[in-house]
Structure 1
Amino acid sequence: MNTLNIFNKQALFLAALAVASLLPVSKTYAQEGLKQETIDIISTNQPKLRDAYKLNLTASLPNVDTSKPALKYQIPALNLNFMYQATPLKPLALGKDSLGNLQNNFLKLGYGNLQTPYVQAGFGSGRHEQYNYGLYVNYTGSKDSKIEDMQYSNLNVLASGAYLTSKLKFDASLAYDRNTVHYYGYDHDTANFKNKDLAQTFNQITAIVGVENRPQNDWAFTFKPDVKFILFNDSYKRTENTFIFKAPIRKQIFEDIYIGVEGVFDLSTYKVDNGKAINNNIVAIHPAVDIIKPGFVLHAGVNPTWSDNKFKLLPDIVNESHLIKKKLILSSGWISYFEKNSYRNLATKNPFLAGLSENMMNTRVEEKYTGIKGTLGSHFNYNTKFASVTWYDQPLFINDTLDTKRFITVNETMLRAFQLHAEIGYIEEEKFQARLTFDWYNYNKQETQLKPWHLPPFQGDLFAQYTIGRKFHLRADLFALSGTYYLLPNKDFNKTSGAWDMNAGAAYDIGKNFGLWVNANNIFNSHYQRYYLYPTYGFNIVGGVLIKF
C-alpha cells in the first residue's frame, strides 16, 4: 500500500473526531429514531515537506605558514673501498714549437746549351721577433753561336732587412743590377763591328728606406712613407738620377668607411756626357674614400697631378658589386694615371734604345672599363674586362734610319684602342693549377703616326703546374704573340710574323736538402722578332742542382 494513502485516511479520521467533540451532548432518552446529518469538508488536506536547509559556503585559502619547519635527517655513513688510487696532479712541461727550423739558405747551379751558366743563391736570417735580413744573388747569360754578337748577361744583387719595434717597422734595401746586351740587329753578311762597339751595359743602383707603423686594430691610423734613390747609367755615358718619395696615409672612420691620401714625388734628371740635362718630374696627390661592405666595394678618389709643367685632375673610381656572392661580381671603373717615360723605364722595355729624346713627354693613360669576375665551384676562378683605353703622348719605337740596329722613340699624340682581357684559372690545393690569360687590343685611331709601331695587338699565355707525390714538380708555359708593325728607312712599313713559344720545366726533390731541376725554353725553336731585326734565341735547355740548408 502506498504510504501517502494511509496518511490521508488517518487525517480524515482525526478530522472527524474533532468535529464530533464540538457538538453539544444530548440527554439519553428512550431509543429515538436516527437523525440524518451531513458533514461538509471545506478543503482537501495537501501535506507538504519542509524546505531543506541549505548551507552557504565561501571557499578561501588557508593562511600561509611562514614558520620554518625544523627538519631533522640523518645520512648513514657509507664506506667505499677503491682499488684505483689517483696520482697527484703535476704541471706538464710546455711542448716545443711545432714550427721547424727554416731552410734560410739555398744555392742553385746549372748550365745550358747556349753557353748558359746559371747561378742563384739566397741567404736569410730566419725567424726573429725584432729583425730579419737577407741576401740574394743571381747571374745568367747566353751566347748563340749561329748569330754573331747575339749574347747577353744579367747580374742581380739584393740585400734587404727589416727592424721591428713595438710601434714601428723599418725597412731598407740596397740593390745592384748589371745587364749587358749587344746590338746584333744588323746585316752580318755586309757589316763587321768590333765587340766593344756593339756591347751595351746598363748599371743600376737602388736604395730604399721606409717606415711603417704597427696598428693594434683596423681602426688605427696607418702610414707607410718610403724614399727611393736610383742611379742609372749605360756604356755611352748616359746617366739618369731618380728620387722617389711616397707617403700613403689611411684611417678608418666608420666600420666600413676608410679615408686615405698619398703624396708622390717622382723626380728624374737625364744627362748625356757634355750634354744638356733633361728634367722629368711628376708630382701627385691621391686622396680617396674606400667603402667596403659585404658584397660591395667602392674606391672613389681623384689624382691631381703635375707633369711636364702641366696640371691634370685625373679620375680614380673603381667599383665591385656582387650580383651572386663571390660567384658573379660586376667590376667597373674610370681611372687615369701617368706612365713615366724615363730612360730607365724605356730601356727596360727595349734595351736596344739609342738614348732618350729631348722632347720626350710622360704618357697619360685613361681607362674606362667594365667586366665580370668570380669563382665557379671550389676550384675555378675567372676575370674578364672590356675597356676603352686612350694613351696621350705614347712613345713608339722605330729603327733609326742612320743606324738600323738601334731604336729611337717617336711621340704619338693620341692613341686609342678597345681592350679585351680574359683569364680563367683552376687550382686544386698545391697539387695542380692552370691559368689561361690573354689581352687583345683593337687599335682604331692614332693622330700622329701611321701605325702603332712595335705594339703587339694580341698576347696570350697558358700556364700549368703539376706536383706528383710532393717531390716531382712539372710546369709548362705556352705563349702566343701576334705580329707588330715596323717602319722601314724608305718610310714604307711592314709587319712581323706572329709566333708560338713554349717553355717547360721539371724539378725533383731528392731529400730535404737536395734537388735536381731542368728548364727548356723556346721548345718550338721559333726565331720570332719582338723588335724588327732582333730574332729571339732558339731552343735553350738549362739544368742543374739545388741545395737548401
Structure 2
Amino acid sequence: MNIQTIYSKRTFIITALSVAGLLSSKKAAAQEPLKQETIDIISTNQPKLRDAYKLNLTASLPGIDTSRPSLKYQVPALNLNFMYQAAPLKPLALGKDSLNALQNNFIKLGYGNYKTPFLQAGFGSGRHDMYNYGLYVNYTGSKGKEIPDQDYSNLNVLASGSYLLPKFQFNGSLGYDRNTVHYYGYNHDTTKYEKKDIEQTFNQLTATVGVQNRPQNDWAFTFQPQVKFILFNDSYKRTENTFLLKVPVRKQVFEDIYIQVEGVFDLSTYKQDNNRAINNNLAAIHPAVDIMKPGFVLHAGVNPTWTNSKFYLLPDIVNESHLIRKKLILSSGWISYFEKNSYRNLANKNPFLAGLPGDMMNTRVEEKYTGIKGTLGSHFNYNTKFASVTWYDMPLFVNDSANTKVFTTRNETMLRAFQLHAEVGYIEEEKFQARVSFDWYNYNKQETEVKPWHLPPFQGDLFVQYTLAKKLHLNADIFALSGSYYLLPNKDFGKTKGAWDLNAGASYDIGRNFNLWVNANNIFNSHYQRWYLYPTYGFNVVGGVMIKF
C-alpha cells in the first residue's frame, strides 16, 4: 500500500463524513433550524513505513564424528598352480682370500759395457699384523775406457723393520753405503798417478729409531719422533759424526683446522787428521696452523732457528686457492729454511770435494713464489711456479788452484735469482704416462763471487713410459743441461758446454716370476762435464734378468 492510496482513503472518509454531516443537517433543519459547526485540525498526517524485521544468523561447524567406522573387506581366494618348485635354501661356504700371495723377494742381475756388473736384491717378510721387515742390497760399478782412472763403484745395504701395537708403531733401520770414485780430472798426457793415490772412498753408517702413535679417531693428535745417528768418513781421514732428532706433533682442533709443531736438532762434528774438531749445530722449532677447507688451504707458521751462534726468525706461509675447482689452483708462498753444509751433504753433491774449510756456514734460503697448478680432464695435470730466490752464505764449488783435480768451496754471502718452474704430465692408468718439466734460473746478483760457479741455469727432463699387453714395459728419459761457469787457476773463468742426454729402457715379463730387462744410457754419446775436468761416460748399456719369488 503506497502513500497515494492512503491519501485517497483519507479523502474518501473525510468526504463521506462531510456528506453524512450535510444530510443529517438537512434532516435536522426540517425539524430544527441549522447550527454552525467548525472542524479543528489537530496535526498534519505524517505517514511512516514500518521497520523491517532483521534475522541474526550465527554460523557454526557441525559436530565432529568421533565414532570409529567398522569396515569389512572380503577378498576372494585365488588359487594358482605353479609348475616350478623352489629349491630349499642352503648356506654357502666362505670364499678364500682373494689377495694373491705376495712376491716378497727379488734378485736382479745384469752386466754391461765399461765392465759394469749389476746386482740388486730385496727380501721382505710379507703381510703380518704385528711386524714386517726387509733387506735391500744394491751394487754396481764401471771402469772407464776413454779416460784412465774413470772408475767408480757403489754399494748400498739397508735393513729395516717395524713392530705394530694397538696404539703405537715402532720403526728401525740400519744402513751402510760405500761409494768409491777416482780423481781422474787431470792431464793424463803429462801426469801419472797410482790408483791408491787418487782413489776416494766414502763410508756411511746410518742407524735410525722412531715411534709413531696410531690414532683411533679423526680428532686425535699424532706424533712421530725419530732419532738418527750417522757416521761418515773417507779415505783421507776425514770423519763426521751426526746426531739428528726430529719430533713432529700434529693435532686437529676443529673439523678443518690443525695445529702442529716440529722440533729439529741437527748436531754434527767434523774432524780432519789431527786438526781441531769443527762443530756445526742447527736447532729449530716449527710451529704452524693448517686450515683445510674445500677449495682453500692455508699453512701459516714461523721457523725460529739457531745456527752458527745466531738466531733467525724465518717465515713459513703457503696458500692454495681454487679459482676453478681442481682445474685452476693459485699457489703462493713465502718460506725460508736452512740447508746444512755438512761434509756429508756437500760430498753427496760433488764427490770430488777436498774437505771442508774451517769457516763453513750453513745456507739460508728464502723463497717468495706464486704460480698455478691443477688438472685438465681426467688425464692431464700441470704445475707452474715463478719465484724470487735468495741464498745467504752459499758454498760454490771451484777447482783448487794448486790441485785442479779436486774442488774447494767459496762462500757466496748473497746470491739472488729468479726461478721459473713448469711441468706437465699425462697419465692413462698403468698403460701410458708422460711428464715434461724444467727449471730455469736467472742469476742476477751476487756479492762475493764474479759468477755462480758450477750452477747450471737450466735443467729439463722429458720422461715417457708405455706398457704393451701388460708384459712389455718401455721407458725413455731425455735430459737437457745448460753450461755453467768455472774458475781457472789464473783467476780467469770459462763456461762448460750444454748437453743432451737420452736414456731408454725396456723390460719383458716371462710368466709371473721372470723378467728380462735392458737399459741404455747416454745414447747421444755426449761427454759433457757437470764438473769441470770431469767428463761423463759415453754410450753405455746394461742388461740382465730379474727373478721374483
The 2-side partners of 1:381 and 1:430 are apart by 16
CA distance in 2, matches of 1:59, 1:449: 106
Asked if residue 445 in structure 1 is aligned to residue 445 in structure 2, the reply is yes
Q: Residue 417 of structure 1 aligns to which amino acid in structure 2?
A: A
Structure 1 distance, partners of 2:361, 2:64, is 101
2:126 aligns to what SS in structure 1? Answer: coil
Q: How does 1:296-445 map to 2 (within 5 A)?
A: 296-445=296-445
Task: Output the CA distance in 2 between the equivalents of 1:521 and 1:409.
Answer: 31
Equivalent residue letter for 2:165: T
Q: Deviations over 1:342-389 (max 9, x none)?
A: 000000000000011111100000000111111112111111111110
Matched residues in 1 for 2:454 and 2:330: separation? 33
Question: How far apart, in 2, do the equivalents of 1:235 and 1:132 lie?
Answer: 36
Aligned-pair CA distance for 1:128: 1.1
Matches within 5 A, 1:28-43: none
Match of 1:536 in 2: 536
Instruction: Please state if 1:231 is matched with 2:226.
Output: no
Change (3 A) 1:282 1:71: closer
Indicate the RMSD between aligned Cα atoms, in angstroms: 1.8
Tell me what 2:132 maps to.
132
Instruction: Give distance in 1, aligned partners of 2:69 and 2:421.
Output: 89
Please name the residue that 1:50 is paired with. Answer: none
Q: Give per-residue Cα distances to partners, 1:298-342, cap 9 Å, x unaligned.
A: 000000000101000000000011111111111110000000000
Indicate whether 1:161 and 2:170 are aligned.
Answer: no
Distance in 1 separating the partners of 2:72 and 2:376: 74
The match for 1:288 is: 288
Corresponding residue number in structure 2 for 1:518:
518
> Residues 243, 61 of structure 1: CA spacing in aligned structure 2 closer, same or farther, 3 A cutoff?
closer
Listed as ranges, the gaps of 5+ residues in structure 2 are 1-55
Q: Which residue of 1 aligns with 2:456?
A: 456
Amino acid at match of 1:288: A
Counterpart mapping for 1:187-266 below 5 A: 187-266=187-266
Residue equivalent to 2:20: none
Please give the secondary structure, in 2, of the residue aligned with 1:491: coil
**Alignment-derived partner of residue 92 in structure 1:** 92
Paired with 1:288 and 1:134, the residues of 2 have a C-alpha distance of 35
* 1:145 Cα deviation from its structure 2 partner: 1.8
Change (3 A) 1:431 1:71: closer
| C-alpha distance in structure 2 between counterparts of 1:409 and 1:401, whole Å | 12
CA displacement 1:506-546 (0-9 Å, x = unmatched) = 01111111110000000011111100110001110000001
Gap change, CA 1:361 and 1:63, over 3 Å in 2: closer
Q: 1:176 to 1:74 in 2, by over 3 A?
A: same
SS at match of 1:274: coil
> Which digits, 9 at most, give the CA deviation of each residue in 1:476-505, with x for residues without a partner?
110111111111111111111111111000
| Closer/same/farther in 2, CA of residues 64 and 543 from structure 1, 3 Å limit | same
Tell me the amino acid that sits aligned with residue 442 of structure 1: N
- The SS at the match of 1:276 is coil
Match of 1:118 in 2: 118
Identity of aligned residues (%): 81
Q: Secondary structure at the match of 1:449?
A: coil
Unaligned ranges ≥5, structure 1: 1-55
AA matched with 1:234: D
SS at match of 2:345: helix
- Per the normalisation by structure 2, the TM-score is 0.87
SS at match of 2:196: helix
Give 1:68 deviation, angstroms. 5.9
CA distance in 2 between partners of 1:370 and 1:72 (Å): 79
The letter for the 2-side match of 1:506 is A
Give distance in 2, aligned partners of 1:59 and 1:307.
95
Deviation at 1:273, TM superposition (A): 2.1
Sort the Cα spacing of 1:61 and 1:459 in 2 relative to 1 into closer, same or farther, 3 A.
closer
Per-residue Cα deviation, 1:57-80 (whole angstroms, up to 9, x for no partner): 999988766566677777777766
The corresponding residue for 1:173 is 173
Which one-letter code corresponds to 1:426 in the other structure?
Y
- Aligned to 1:345, the other structure's residue is in SS state helix
Structure 1 residues 62, 307: closer, same or farther in 2, change over 3 A?
closer
- Relative to 1, partners in 2 of residues 1:218 and 1:404: Cα closer, same or farther, differing over 3 Å? same
Equivalent position SS for 1:161 = strand
Measured after TM superposition, the shift of residue 429 of structure 1 is 1.1
**TM-fit CA distance, 1:82:** 4.8
Shift of 1:238: 0.7
After TM superposition, give the deviation of residue 129 of structure 1 in Å: 1.2
Letter in 2 for 1:287: P
Report the CA distance shift for 1:500/1:72 in structure 2 as closer, same or farther (over 3 A). closer
Q: Which residue of 2 aligns with 1:109?
A: 109
Q: Distance in 2 between matches of 1:83 and 1:271?
A: 96
Within 2, Cα distance between the matches of 1:235 and 1:112?
Answer: 28
Letter in 1 for 2:310: K
Matched positions, count: 494
Q: Aligned ranges for residues 475-514 of structure 1 at < 5 Å?
A: 475-514=475-514
Q: Deviations over 1:226-285 (max 9, x none)?
A: 111101010111110001000001111111111010000000001112121000000000
Q: Secondary structure at the match of 2:241?
A: strand
Question: How far did 1:93 drift?
Answer: 1.9
Question: CA 1:247–1:83 in 2, change beyond 3 Å: closer, same or farther?
Answer: same
